[in-house]
Chain A
């Protein structure tokens, strides 16, 4: 197979449904960088999931050692650096529009009518944590590293991270974490209320699957949706 064909076939996020549970799998290891291609793919998947009628739960997980090291700021800087001129204004405006759509995509994930579980290992930083914050439950493996380091690059989390972290852990802890950009271990993340449980290596997805195994059985889709919404 030629390189060109490989590039066309490459998809950075996979989606699968097993026993009414959806799996969003980040599959661009080792870092699962969240670049433009990632977000394009993610938006397609989320649009497809929204149309699906059979899901009773969703797991967000990844292949490889890390969940994800987050957005590709270099790529964004490249687009914004392209210089003056009408053409480039259009490029920049388009890019800003894309960032809005990314935020909307994450909001859609947070609003699904069924429980969403994030299974995290290795690095989970920046936009990767912003994605994980859209889940109802965050299961982390030992030796995970979580944080919002955007501030080290002179920017702020821009995909809902500040808003969701504040709602989750309160203003005091959120300010401390976002202003310092510090990274947390599994234990510290649990203590801060950022992660819900710590499990041994390579077992986060298993635990997520177990959590969702019997969800929604024996109640109507509407009742289930109402129940899930009430917990949020």
Chain B
């Protein structure tokens, strides 16, 4: 079985095998990335959406935020085991693919736009790893979370262990990683890795409205500067993150208050 992802002719859909595809739409300047392999939205390739394609989509300058969600009832039940088994036949192939998947999630974490995971139903394994790479995680009451990898003799390999511990308390993190036990929405919020539990069944719609409200009245460049500064806080050493924040402040302040010509501004 081949697990190659390839492009459809319609570039707003990237198809994986086993009928899991990823689609992109823009709703009121919010980009919506949907993992669609109903019913379970299995992740067939660690690079679940082509990185080059995602970069192209997210570089649209009119975008003001991004929502990642699953089609239908579930977010994603995680990696497709058959596919993993076939990948594992070649260790070099497996590590190359995992590396690409890791790079994709690092990219998602570095996008200078607020990224929200809108979660309902199952959010397991690789699905949860994708959600943990987002800035904000919103779920409804029927959402359930787990890292079942250890029951299969492996561990989460796309940053799941590392990102879980940064968002959840240590006790819950170890419990989830070692036991593979399910955690419900309210326990996930208490543990700290879910930011908001909502009554709405349609989490995607809620997340779009939530993002729209969050960035209302903000210029595109202010949104990008703020999210970039927040991303830097998570990825750069303290002094470098601080220097860049001050630099971005200066650029915005000059743009806003300075009466110099465009030419002069460039040369300040």
Contact = CB atoms under 8 A, between A and B. Distances in A.
A156 B259 contact: no
Interface stretch (A6-14, A112-120, A168-176, A215-223): A168-176
Contacts of B246: 99-100, 102-103, 158-159
A163 interface: yes
A180 B222 CA distance: 11
Interface residues of B, number: 44
Interface stretch (B39-47, B50-58, B235-243): B235-243
A154 B250 CA distance: 12
Contact of B239 (A99, A107, A171): A107
B267 A89 contact: yes
Nearest to B215: A179
A80 interface: yes
A132 B233 CA distance: 18
Given A103-B242, A162-B229, A172-B136, A154 B234 contact: no
A128 B254 CA distance: 22
Where chain B touches its partner, the secondary structure class is helix
Given A89-B267, A170-B167, A81 B249 contact: no
Interface string B203-227: 0000000000011001100110111
A183 interface: no
B233 A167 contact: yes
Contacts of A161: 245
Interface of A: 76-77, 80-84, 88-89, 92-93, 96, 99-100, 102-103, 107, 151, 153-164, 166-167, 170-176, 178-180
